[in-house]
Structure 1
Amino acid sequence: MADKVTVNFGNILYAEDDQLYQITTPLILSRIGFTVKVVGNGKLAVEEFSSDSNYSSVLLDNQMPIMTGIEAARRILEKKTVDIVLFTSDEKHTVSEAVDELGIRYLKKPGTEMGFKILYASLLTKK
């Protein structure tokens, strides 16, 4: 019997206040091959990234208490260049100015496994 081969494409820091997404999104990402750390808001994402910047990507909801995903992205990018994805139910036209200004990606909720595969394949191949 062959040993199971596991692949780790990197570590993702995920900021999300919705408990359902805190469970389902990491499951999808782990099936693809990522390790995911979940925090409950943008402020916690900034703090976590400041204490451990060994993340290949940061995935941020936008509408969170304490600090939005856009504000968290802005603060994280002040510290280090990292791939950031705004994963939100906000329509793209409402966040496109900030997405373009910050040079981050946008993915509309609810995400699918295929959507995440396409997104992260494009991020991995650009490196």
Structure 2
Amino acid sequence: MELTVFDMFIRMFAKGLFPKRAAKHTMQDADYSKPFQVPFGQGSFLVIRTELFRQINGFDDNFFMYVEDADLCKRVNNVSKLMYYPNATVIHKWEQGSHKNKTLFKYHVNSMKYYFHKWGYKWF
């Protein structure tokens, strides 16, 4: 599933209003007991081969915070496969800072605007 403006809106402003769409966006129907290709992954825990990271020219410096992981994942999937592996484990204290802080919220919105401008707006 591609990242869309609608999905980002749901995640930030309309939690619980579109449960089927949210479930699709978070791939809740996937079999998490075995590896599978994913469109994007949480940036707090991505592992990438150095040669692949160099091939895609690393992170896009136009992102300060937020959505840079989705951009990186999209570029990986353009030349390779981004995979989920069930045996990898990480604990991430998800603070959702941009939901609580106006400055971080502004960074988040600006990053989303840049991402959708860069890749073309996908509304749904």
TM-score by length of 2: 0.28
Higher percent of residues as strand:
1
Larger radius of gyration: 2
Larger relative contact order (CA 8 Å, sep ≥ 6): 2
